[in-house]
Chain A
Amino acid sequence: MNRSIGLAFVSLSLAAWSGCSDGLSSGSDLEGTRVLGARTRIEGDPQRAWPAHGESVEVEFLVLGPELTPYEWVVGVCPRAETGFGIDICSDSGLFAINQGSVSSPDDLPPSIAFEVPSAEALENAETLLLSGTICIEGSVSLESDTLCQGAGVEARAFSFVLTVWDEAVEPANRHPILGAITLDGQPWIQDVEDKSVREGCAGSDLPQLEASLDEGPKTDYVLTLADGDYEEPNGAVGSREPFVNIENDMVLEELQVSHIATLPDIERQFTFIDDDTNPLEVEWTAPRSSEIAPEGSVVRVVFVMRDLRDGMDWATRAACVIRTP
């Protein structure tokens, strides 16, 4: 282990030194349709993240792209097998619920599945459920075929979500974190577009109007901030960060992982953590060059997904209009 650790550290250092990801697309740029998150909604207690045995729950997946691209989807749920590494898999008992659908217009519902959490016996004492699915972009789902996604040029994207089954005797239930205020260059930012397929022609609309960067010289940065929300009944929480007992048996507060992804580049990074030192988070978005912007303005959408890393999640999208510089 000694040498492995040393080598791992060296590799980490070298990766940092060499700037190894240059030239590859960034996860903070939403260049295609993809899954960005999953959120549970428990019947009668929508803020709770963990369902108990016998409760009805719906899990909705956040799927977005720079524009609306038709896709079909399928998602199933099963008891999760205990694994030490690798992609999660179902236990031997297999799927107990499955759902599928398609999205081709703004009114279509995103992938989701509703089910009742089976008893512990039915789950063979599995402590977690595995929801796994696939979206077939510009293609169709075929459950009968070995190849799940069918169609010429189809792009298959697999996804999964592991959901803890709450045992009240073991620990308090986890609740979803809450997104707080979002600002754009210090101003409250609440606007979004209704029609997610609209990418241009936003100049003069109600969206915040952001000037693009000049075609020469330094680019223009805009500062986005996001605060942690707040529970009305804190119960020991700070903001929406709840206390819990970690693996080392220490009582600690959650750290909220926020992903911020934009339909127009560039956001300086994909992840920011809200913790004792950071709230609200602050991240810069650099506007594209003016020549890259449509004459009537280009819509930029920014997706914020907040995770407490204990299956709790919240998200929001905001939009602004980037206009050419005079």
Chain B
Amino acid sequence: MNSPIVRYRQACVYLAEEPGQHIGCPPVTPYPMHVTALAPRGIRALIPKKSLLFGWLLWTLMPHGSLLWGAPPIQRARAQETEAEAEPVLVPPSLVQFASATYPEAAAEYGLEGTVELELTIDAEGRVTDAIVVTPAGSGFDEAAAEAARRFLFEPATRDAEPIPSIIRYRYVFELTQEPEVEEVEDEAPPPGLLEGQVLDAGDDAPIVDAAISVQMPGETTQTPGETTQMVGEGSVAVVSDADGRFSVGSLAPGSYEVRIAAEGFEAYVSSEEVASGEATSIVYRMLRSDASASSDTFSATAVADPPPREVVRRSIQREQLTRIPGTRGDALRAVEILPGVGRPAFGAGALIIRGSAPEDSTIRFHGVEVPLLYHFGGLTSFYNSRLLEQIDFYPGNFSARYGRKTGGVLEVSSRDPASDRLHGVIETSFIDVSLMLEFPITDELSMAIAARRSVLDFFIETLIPDDTLDIVTAPVYEDYQLILSWRPTPNDRFRFQLYGVRDTFKILLSDGFAEDDPSVRGNANLDTQFHFGHLSWDHTYAPGFEQETNLRVGPTNLDFGLGDEFSFQGRFLEITLRTEWRARLAEWARVIVGTDLDITPFSIDYVGPQPRQIEGTGQDEPLSTQEQVIAQPVDQVYRPGFYVETELRPVEPLLLNLGFRADYYSEIDKWSFDPRSVAVYSVTDQTRIKGGVGLYSQPPEFQESIEEIGNPNLDPFHSVHVGLGVEHDFTETIEVGVEGFYKWLWDRVVETENGEAPFFRNKGVGRIYGMEISAQVRPTKGFFGYLSYTLSRSERRDAPGESFRPFDFDQTHIFNLAAVYQLPKGWEVGTTLRLVSGNPDTPVAGSSYDANNDVYLAVNGDINSGRAPLFHRLDVRIEKKWAFDLWKFAIFLDVQNVYNATNSEGTIYNFDYTESTALNGLPIIPALGMRGEL
């Protein structure tokens, strides 16, 4: 049966301030448009001076005088910039409320179709004040289209962000389509899925109209008649985006699809997406402009797919947002600090504190495989180039059985495929570090990215630290590198080889008496941390709905840390991780994931120092000089195989049940753990979801806790049960609000023996963590995005039966974060982040005792963590200005941490005998000025 479906399409857009200024319909013009003739002369007059300034900066700060690789001479860049800078930015109106036209009955009866081109006059408030038929279609289409268009509501056009009236052309397309016939689906065949999305301009998030989207299928697919799709070859479907940049491809068999997007004025983009049976995969693509007038980031054309929620809480922030959060210096992994449930370590030192769990209890995964360190030097910069990241997922609790051996939370990081269209490059420098990244295709199926970064702190550090206290032997330097090779030999296979590594080095010579409370703190203090990994991934689709993902990672991790003669740690670890996962759709309502991950770590450790203590809750630090040295030199091999299975069941349409089970073996203690986990998601409406979960989580003791010489190899793994309940609601397509409550009970925690005597550690500790999180997110729209999160929680520990619960070392009752970023005209962007966090607990000093052997005092602890530092508050601001030229782009940014130089207490410091104390102040205002060039 034919049923009339009205479709509309915006055919072309151009701007005019007065009717009649335009003649005809020009080719589709990407915006923001730069109308040179309207540029104020006064602004133009300033531009040469600016160009000289920035040219000089580039020339002097770059080692070889040029920012670019094969770039045109800088003089040419100046000329381009001169033109671009002088132009006002005109932004066309965008449709925010569409009105459907009535399909003329007679036309429908006779099977007529038509296209009506209209000229719409839109006032400064976005209302359509006039709709004139420019190209009539007759048969009642013209009147219907004009009537409907007068009911449109637009976001008005702007010039330099000021609303202005405008005239656009709009084309209504009336099409008759065949209503989909309902076919009986065989019981064995899984129901099809839907791939839908929106194509946006990465520069300002404006929708891209008429973008061509090609969906390449690995196997057969069914195609519903009546959609605006066109078969372009065997196994391919093509659609075009509508006026909102949206598109939809229905009736896709479950599986992996290659999505190619092309739009005039934008760089082509290729992505791989997963479509699940009976579910909609919704994607936002942000496209890079290919012309010189654009102001967008080169590498913001990253697709981020949000699959159906499987966890009680899973938070994903798109990469291009993460790199723009103030206070992070553009480091995507640092942006997780603003998420609800994430605590704040002292000095922002990089420890990941998730829902009141110790940093050691959470894991950072890179493509499913744990990485040893997230940050350089405990917090300055993360280990991986943010511009090569695809996505960051954060699971603060109730995470999947796919993740094991941890009881806290999971931060999952994945890298993206290198660009396959042409050469791209980015160089960025600030007072902290300088980085370089290149990506390029090698063949049609093979592309490559390489990146490297080095800190430049060593050029400044000697002026910051007084000469009379430290003799810097090796200034602090951190380095990291990444290489990605991506190869798609067939539509069903993707191989990816990655090489990445990190090295941090720092060596200083501490003068005698450097620390008044501890004479042992002297001599050489050195830190040398490095890891280097080769990581091979293979994704294979056996059939629609049946896939395998395999990761093999091998590499050494070396840790060297020394402090005079009192402390020395040298660890050599060869980390071998093999992780394989199979995902299969068994039925319309059932999907299963089966996987195994195996960690094998031959290691050798050479440790001389004090007896290691429990991870937290030990009160005031004890001088090294008073502690007896112990020695441990184990050479051994640890292997930890893990097995997991997870099912996604949908017994009724709105309910998704996720049942998982995980088994892990820990060779170092010769123990197993078995963890059942479950999550339920109930979709009350399309906008509202209720989610709950309960699960068991287990974790082996830390290395030092189970090494025989200094630990207890007879320990058990410790456990935690997670209970979570939350609700999410999408108020609009861009605003999402969520509330989650959580409770965690910990038992068999590893705690030290009473006086640190053998067996040193035992499983006698328990803990409880409970709280709630409120989060609100404004997704990018009209150049704005923002986050708001608040966490109210309590995290407590009890170290021995009969004792009272005490606050955890990083128990933070209130955590409030607000981040907002706004794009302004002319390539400006401003953002701010506000953080209010309860001060960390502190252990008061009840007295002290003089140690005559070493001439130092030892503190007598009061009740552990019974004090608390004052509220922490900090405001960060980031300002960025971008310029775009023919072949490259340039940005300069200022990222200021602690703008108003708040004096925050990070703890208490005492004089030599603990009779006086003062606050240990946190970091002052830190401005970081940087610049970035993009090819």
Minimum CB–CB distance for A128 against chain B, Å: 10
- Contact between B612 and A34 (Cβ–Cβ < 8 Å)? no
Contact of A7 among B351, B464, B521 (CB under 8 A): B351
Q: Say if the beta carbon of B760 comes within 8 Å of chain A.
A: yes
Task: Indicate if A109 sits at the interface (CB-CB under 8 A).
Answer: no
Residues from chain B with Cβ under 8 Å of A10 in the complex: 347, 349-350, 377-379
Given contacts A2-B373, A11-B349, A13-B506, contact A24 B855 (CB under 8 A): no
- Say whether A259 faces chain B, with CB atoms less than 8 Å apart: yes
Q: In the complex, are the beta carbons of A82 and B757 less than 8 A apart?
A: yes
Q: Please, what's the 1-or-0 string for A281-324, where 1 marks a CB less than 8 Å from any CB in chain B?
A: 00000000000000000000000010101010000000000000
Question: What 0/1 readout, one digit per residue, does chain B (844-857) give for beta carbons within 8 Å of chain A?
Answer: 00011111111100
**Chain B positions 567-625 with a Cβ under 8 Å from a chain A Cβ:** 569, 571, 608, 610-613, 615, 618, 622, 625
Give the distance in Å from the alpha carbon of A19 to the alpha carbon of B469 in the complex.
10
- Which residues of B have CB within 8 Å of A247? 608, 629-631
Chain A residues 84 to 142 lying within 8 A of chain B, measured CB to CB, are: 84-87, 89, 132
Decide yes or no whether B71 CB sits under 8 A from chain A. Answer: no
Cβ < 8 Å to B, chain A residues 5-44: 5-21, 23-28, 34-38
Given contacts A269-B511, A270-B513, contact A18 B852 (CB under 8 A): no
> Of A9, A27, A156, A272, which one neighbours B378 at CB under 8 angstroms?
A9
User: A162 to B559, alpha carbons, bound, how many Å?
Assistant: 34
Name the CB-closest residue of A to B469. A16
Q: With A1-B569, A270-B912, A272-B512 known to touch, is A83 a contact of B755 (CB < 8 Å)?
A: yes
Q: Closest approach, in angstroms, between the C-beta of A222 and any C-beta of chain B?
A: 17
**Which residues from B are CB-within-8-Å of A1?**
569, 571, 612, 702-704
Interface pair A161/B853, CB less than 8 Å apart: yes
**Quick check: B855 and A87 within 8 Å, CB to CB?**
no
> Could you tell me which residues of chain A, from 147 to 168, have a CB within 8 Å of some CB in chain B?
156-162
Instruction: Write out the residue numbers on chain B whose beta carbons fall within 8 Å of the beta carbon of A18.
Output: 920-921
A34 touches B913 (CB 8 A): yes
Give Cα A1–Cα B858 distance, bound, in whole angstroms. Answer: 24
Measured between alpha carbons, how far is A289 from B630 in the docked complex, in Å?
Answer: 48
B608: chain A residues at CB < 8 Å are: 247-248
How many Å lie between the Cα of A8 and that of B760 in the bound state? 21
Complex interface residues of chain B between 454 and 475 (CB less than 8 A to chain A): 464-466, 469-470
Q: Are B465 and A160 in contact (CB under 8 A)?
A: no
B519 contacts across to A, CB distance below 8 A: 257, 259, 270-271, 273
CB pair B911–A3 under 8 Å, yes or no, is: no
CA of A255 to CA of B854, assembled, Å: 13
* Smallest CB separation, B405 vs chain A (Å): 15
- Is the pair B611, A85 in contact by a Cβ cutoff of 8 Å? yes
> Which residues of B (752-793) have their CB < 8 Å from a CB of A?
752-753, 755-757, 760
CB distance from B225 to the nearest CB of A (A): 58
Contacts of A5 in B (CB 8 A): 527, 559, 561, 569
| Pair A3/B351 contact, Cβ less than 8 Å | yes
> What count of chain A residues pass the 8 Å CB interface test?
65
Instruction: Determine if B72 is an interface residue (Cβ-Cβ < 8 Å).
Output: no
Contact B852 A159 (CB under 8 A): yes
CA A42 to CA B610, docked complex, whole Å: 31
* Nearest-neighbor residue (CB-CB) of A272 within chain B: B512
Q: Which of A182-222 contact B (CB under 8 A)?
A: none
Known A27-B913, A273-B522; judge A83-B918 contact (CB<8 A): no
Residue interface bits B875-901, CB-to-A below 8 A is 1, else 0: 000000000000000000000000000
Q: Is A71 interfacial (CB-CB < 8 Å)?
A: no
Please name all residues of chain A whose beta carbon is closer than 8 Å to the beta carbon of B309 when the two chains form the complex. Answer: none
Residue of A nearest to B372 (CB): A2
Query: Is A158 a contact of B849 with CB atoms below 8 Å?
Result: yes
Contact at A21–B911, with CB atoms within 8 Å? yes
Q: Does A68 contact B (CB under 8 A)?
A: no
Which residues of B are found within 8 Å of A309, using beta-carbon distances? 625, 853-854
Interface flag for A227 (CB, 8 Å)? no
Contacting pair A6 B527 (CB below 8 A): yes
Q: Smallest CB-CB separation from A35: which chain B residue?
A: B850
Q: Check A89 against B373 for contact (C-beta < 8 Å).
A: no
**How far in angstroms is the closest Cβ of chain A from B847?**
7
Q: Given that A16-B514, A271-B855 are contacting pairs, would A83 and B757 also be in contact in the complex, using a CB cutoff of 8 Å?
A: yes
Instruction: Pick the residue among A15, A84, A259 that contacts B611 (CB under 8 A).
Output: A84
Contact code string B718-758 (vs A, CB < 8 Å = 1, else 0): 00000000000000000000000000000000001101110
Contacts of A305 in B (CB 8 A): 855
A207 to B860, CA, bound (A): 41
CA distance A180 to B847 in the complex (A): 36
Identify the closest chain A residue to B616 (Cβ).
A4
For A7, the chain B residues whose CB sits under 8 A away are 345, 349-351, 378
- A81 B755 Cβ-Cβ under 8 A: yes
Complex CA gap A77/B855 in Å reads 19
When distances are taken between beta carbons in the complex, the residues of chain B under 8 Å from A26 are: 516, 911-912
| Neighbouring B residues of A20 by C-beta, 8 Å | 909, 920-921
Q: Given A9-B378, A21-B911, are A82 and B918 also a contact pair (CB < 8 Å)?
A: no
A61 at the interface (CB under 8 A from B): yes
The CA-CA distance from A5 to B605 in the complex, in Å, is 14
Most buried by A among B464, B612, B852, B917: B852
CB–CB A9/B506 < 8 A: yes
Complex CA–CA separation, A272 to B522 (angstroms): 10
CA gap between A142 and B470 in the complex, in Å: 47
What's the least CB distance linking A51 to chain B, in Å? 15
Note all chain A residues with C-beta closer than 8 A to B347.
10-11, 14
Chain A nearest CB, measured from B644 CB (Å): 25
Could you tell me the distance between the alpha carbons of A21 and B522 in the complex, rounded to whole angstroms? 16
Q: Which residues of A have CB within 8 Å of B613?
A: 84-85
Are A24 and B910 in contact, with the CB atoms below 8 A? yes
Taking CB atoms, residues of chain B closer than 8 Å to A272 are 512-513
Asked if B853 and A3 sit within 8 Å, CB to CB, the answer is no
For residue B686, CB closer than 8 A to chain A, the reply is no
B517 CB-CB contact with A under 8 Å = yes
Q: How far is the CB of B511 from chain A (nearest CB, A)?
A: 7
Is B909's CB under 8 angstroms from A85's CB? Answer: no
Asked if B263 CB lies within 8 Å of chain A CBs, one says no
B641 close to chain A: CB less than 8 A: no
Residue contact B852 to A161, C-beta cutoff 8 Å: yes
Q: Which of B368-382 contact A (CB under 8 A)?
A: 372-373, 377-379
A24–B610 Cα gap in the complex (Å)?
Answer: 28
The reply on B258 being an interface residue by CB < 8 A is no
Task: Please determine whether A27 and B852 come into contact, CB atoms closer than 8 angstroms.
Answer: no
Nearest-CB residue, chain A, relative to B352: A3
Closest chain-A Cβ to B616's Cβ sits at a distance in Å of 10
- Expressed in whole angstroms, the Cα–Cα distance for A192 and B801 within the complex equals 57
Query: In the complex the two chains form, what is the Cα distance from A208 to B417 in whole Å?
Result: 78
- Contacts of B351 on A, CB cut-off 8 Å? 3, 7
Q: Note all chain A residues with C-beta closer than 8 A to B921.
A: 18, 20
Report whether A86 and B855 are in contact in the complex, using a CB–CB cutoff of 8 Å.
Answer: no
Query: How far apart are B665's CB and chain A's nearest CB, in angstroms?
Result: 22
Give A51 to B837 CA distance when docked, in angstroms: 56
Residues B912 and A25 in contact, CB atoms below 8 Å apart? yes
Cα distance A268–B466 in the bound complex, in angstroms: 14
Contacts of B556 in A (CB 8 A): none
**6 shortest interchain CB distances as A-B pairs:** A84-B756, A269-B513, A27-B912, A84-B611, A24-B911, A10-B378
Task: Give me 28 A-to-B residue pairs in the complex whose CB atoms sit less than 8 angstroms apart, sorted by A's number.
Answer: A1-B569, A1-B702, A3-B359, A5-B527, A9-B377, A10-B379, A12-B563, A17-B464, A17-B465, A18-B920, A26-B516, A36-B855, A37-B852, A81-B755, A84-B613, A84-B627, A85-B611, A85-B622, A89-B755, A158-B847, A158-B848, A160-B850, A161-B852, A259-B855, A269-B516, A271-B855, A309-B853, A311-B853
Known: A3-B359, A159-B850. 13 other contacts (CB 8 A): A2-B571, A10-B377, A24-B911, A25-B915, A26-B516, A27-B516, A28-B516, A83-B755, A84-B630, A84-B752, A255-B565, A273-B519, A305-B855
A residues with a Cβ closer than 8 A to B are 1-21, 23-28, 34-38, 61, 81-87, 89, 132, 156-162, 247-248, 255, 257, 259, 268-273, 278, 305, 307, 309, 311
